[in-house]
Copies of this chain bind each other. A is one copy, B any other.
Amino acid sequence: MPEFGLAPCYRIIKKAGAERVGDDAAEELRNVLEEVAQAISKQAVEFALHAKRKTIKAEDVRLAAKNFLGK
């Protein structure tokens, strides 16, 4: 089940300069973001464990995002 709503996805595409946004486009963006979020989160959990912590911190997410997005 998706965590994110369609309305935020719709608004982000709209703000990017879209004249009209298809419902399928907002759904597709939501799917992509959910996948990205899951992949980053899994890595963040690994990085926290690696640092011998049970609490996931911003630095874990930052490192995972950098790793995942190749930036």
Q: Which residues of A contact B (CB under 8 A)?
A: 3-4, 8-9, 11-13, 15-22, 24-25, 27-29, 32-34, 36-38, 40-42, 44-45, 48, 54-58, 60-62, 65, 69-70
- Chain B residues with CB under 8 Å of A4's CB are 4, 8
- Chain B residues with CB under 8 Å of A32's CB are 40, 61-62, 65, 69
> A31 CA to B55 CA in the complex, in Å?
19
Contact B16 A55 (CB under 8 A): no
14 contacts between A and B (CB under 8 A): A3-B9, A4-B8, A12-B37, A12-B41, A13-B41, A13-B44, A13-B56, A18-B45, A18-B55, A22-B56, A28-B61, A29-B41, A29-B61, A29-B65
